[in-house]
Amino acid sequence: MRNTSHRHAPRTRSVRTRATAAGALSAVAALLAVAVQAGPASADDPAAKATPAAAQKLGKVDPGALAAKLSPAQRAELIRDANATKAETAEDLGLGAKEKLVVRDVTKDRDGTVHTRYERTYDGLPVLGGDLVVDTAKSGKTEGVTKAVKTQLKGVDTSADIKASAAEKQALGAARAEGSKKTDADRAPRKVVWMAKGAPTLAYETVVGGLQHDGTPNELHVITDAATGKKLFQWQGIENGTGNTQYSGQVTLGTAQSGSNYTLTDTGRGNHKTYNLNRGTSGTGTLFTGPDDVWGNGQASNLETAGADAHYGAALTWDYYKNVHGRSGIRGDGVGAYSRVHYGNNYVNAFWSDACFCMTYGDGSGNAKPLTSIDVAAHEMTHGVTAATGNMTYSGESGGLNEATSDIFAAAVEFNANNASDKGDYYVGEKIDINGDGSPLRYMDKPSKDGSSKDSWYSGIGNIDVHYSSGVANHFYYLLSEGSGKKEINGVQYDSPTSDGLPVTGIGRDKASLIWFKALTTKFTTTTNYAAARTGTLAVAGELYGTTSNEYKAVAHAWAAVNVGSRPGGEEPPGTSFENTTDVAIPDAGAAVTSSVNVTGRTGNAPSALKVGVDIVHTWRGDLKVDLLAPDGTVYPLKPASSSDSADNVKETYTVNASSEVANGTWKLRVQDVARQDTGYINSWKVTFP
């Protein structure tokens, strides 16, 4: 769960191709605003044979936009095809002579549309933040491209001014500053091109090993400018996340017979194995082996019990992704990861590691509550799915989305399992009782109930721990699934608020999960932020249900309810508004411009929830920095510039705590375009007092 101990536990940019040589790709911006016209599913496609119950849950979905169920062999063939044509693809994309594509993943829709995920190299060096997804129709026509960043990759001097040893020293210091123990470099610093945060820069990437402050293995990635020695970025690579189980009762496990003994080897699920670390913190441990194919007794004191729980959770998660989304294993290649239980002593955490392709679980406080419940197992395994698909960098807003994705599918897996001893809910870790008071680790209906997570987006949310910023997406998923207000589900009482006070009607968990999964696998990249996640999920809802559907509108409503984007149809919270509708041109990469609103007739100070409605027409809105200026000149940031936010226009309602300001006076909206090539204007804006 990546730092479960924390009360558990760069940005997407679509390419808008400008006029280039013949055969260049068309702009993807338009594709994000309309539904893809999908043909019927092939009669021999096993994915087309959806059950009546499944079809009812998904409603009037366009069957062609659903993911096809690819066998590992079919996926491997698609990857071979992509590798055979990657040079041609690079040329069509207009990449430079020094750029090359590396195929990472391929998915396919039932209508034949193929989504190919690439990484890039420049002059032989890995490009961090250079990932992209190309969507190709069955006809072979390129329909769209999503890039992690829009910055052009050229003119990079690949000769470093500082030595690799200096970068390593800096990285080790950064790890020690965070409390790392037994700190060492896992591998020598490697040269990379860093472009996840803007202009491409030659840098070193150092991966620091050892242990984190709480005993979790360390995999800290530190990016150091190869010209100046300045630290540019860092993120953590460890992602913290018949059996008689402790949490799920008596269950059936996939095992294998070896001679006269049995092992926890699930031959039906990619040979997933479960090992006993026996309080160790390194290595694989010992494969659980026994003479009778009965595992554990339901008590933590029996070491097999945690093994049974972890093995069962991995099986449920495998089945969910395969049966619901057509994905065979974490990477889609039919290969199982493995699980390790009994990590450390009194270790209150669980984590996923790409390095070992495995999930690891501690035994909790007093070694009495292993972190092996269904939702925790699904959470950790989903970190692996995310790493193989969208791979959102585990820092800032992208890190919050990464963490939330694991929570979202933890809930989906738990509901799908329909286990009588651990019924589905919108809580995380309710069985493992980390806090010792019977409370769950996180609440999806109202994330702030844990004391640290956030219910809605604000401009600085990327600066907090990813386990807390994840609350925005968790809350979005709950609202999209179930809607706002009071309700009871599986005996659990929920009461979900909205940031603007307006209600949300849910579309059902199955539809919400389908939309999130398709966005994860076809729209999200290493740098996806909340604005880009909204764009991606709306695009997917349009592809699946159409842009005039209730599902599409519900996605927009649910995002607006967590303060990401505006309500469809112009719905606004009640109150008194002061508005300026005069157009103000925004110069391209020029000075900031302002538009004024004169507030009169109010008494006292402005509210703690002042609503600022912004309507700006501008291509590539990530170029824009938007602030609210109070009458006394105090600046309230509304929207930062972001090289990864590729959508057009800013039509948002922001919430500002302006309670220290006198209400009456001249309020100003200040907008600055900080990058070249795109222009627009302030169409209108208003402040609304409750």
The residues annotated with a catalytic role in the active site are 380, 467
Residue holding tokens 């605003």?
Answer: 33
What end-to-end distance do the CA atoms of the chain give, in Å?
40
Q: Which amino acid is at 492?
A: V
Phi/psi zone of residue 418: left (φ > 0), alpha (ψ -120 to 50 degrees), beta? Answer: left
* Structure-block tokens of residue 595: 């538009």
Sign of CA dihedral 11, 14, 15, 16: negative
Q: Answer for the pair 535, 547: CB distance below 8 angstroms, yes or no.
A: no
**Integer Cα distance of 224 and 205 in angstroms:** 7
Q: Per DSSP, what are the bridge partners of residue 262?
A: 257, 290
Residues 6+ apart with CB under 8 A from 542: 32, 33, 34, 35, 36, 552
Helices and strands: H and E segment counts in the chain: 12, 33
Per DSSP, 20 falls in state: -
SS3 142: strand
Q: In which region does residue 172 sit, left (phi positive, over 0), alpha (psi from -120 to 50) or beta (all else)?
A: alpha
Query: How far out from the chain centre does Cα 656 lie?
Result: 26
- How wide is the angle at C-alpha 534 spanned by C-alphas 528 and 535, nearest 5°? 80
Query: Within 10 Å of residue 365's Cβ, how many Cβ atoms?
Result: 15
DSSP collapsed to 3 states, 598-650: EECCCCCECCCCEEEEEEEEECCHHHEEEEEECCCCCEEEEECCCCCCCCCCE
Looking at the DSSP assignment, which residues form a beta bridge with residue 263? 256, 289
Q: What is the rounded distance in angstroms from the CA atom of residue 195 to the CA atom of residue 644?
A: 11
Residues 2 and 383 sit within 8 Å (Cβ to Cβ): yes
Tokens at 446, concatenated: 């109202």
Give the amino acid at 517: F
- With contact defined as beta carbons under 8 Å apart, do 238 and 352 qualify? yes
* CB 351, CB 240: distance < 8 Å: yes
| Buried/exposed 407-421: b ≥16 CB within 10 Å, e otherwise | bbbbbbbbbbbebee
Residue 175 to residue 221: CA distance in whole angstroms: 9
CA distances from 218 to 2, 344, 355, 440 (A): 11, 14, 11, 26
Beta-strand runs (E) in 83-200: 99-108, 114-122, 125-136, 142-147, 185-194
Token pair for 290: 């026994």
Pinpoint the alpha helices (H) of 526-574: 530-545, 550-560
Phi, psi of 127 (to 5 degrees): -110, 110
Residue with tokens 């709950």: 478
Q: Rg of the chain over CA atoms, in angstroms?
A: 25
d(CA 655, CA 650): 15
In sequence order, the 6+-apart residues with CB closer than 8 A to the CB of 85 are none
Give, in order, the Cα–Cα distances in Å from 499 to each of 151, 334, 570, 576, 649.
34, 42, 16, 17, 22
- Of 222, 227, 196, the residue nearest 207 (C-alpha): 222
Residue identified by tokens 């090992």 is 275
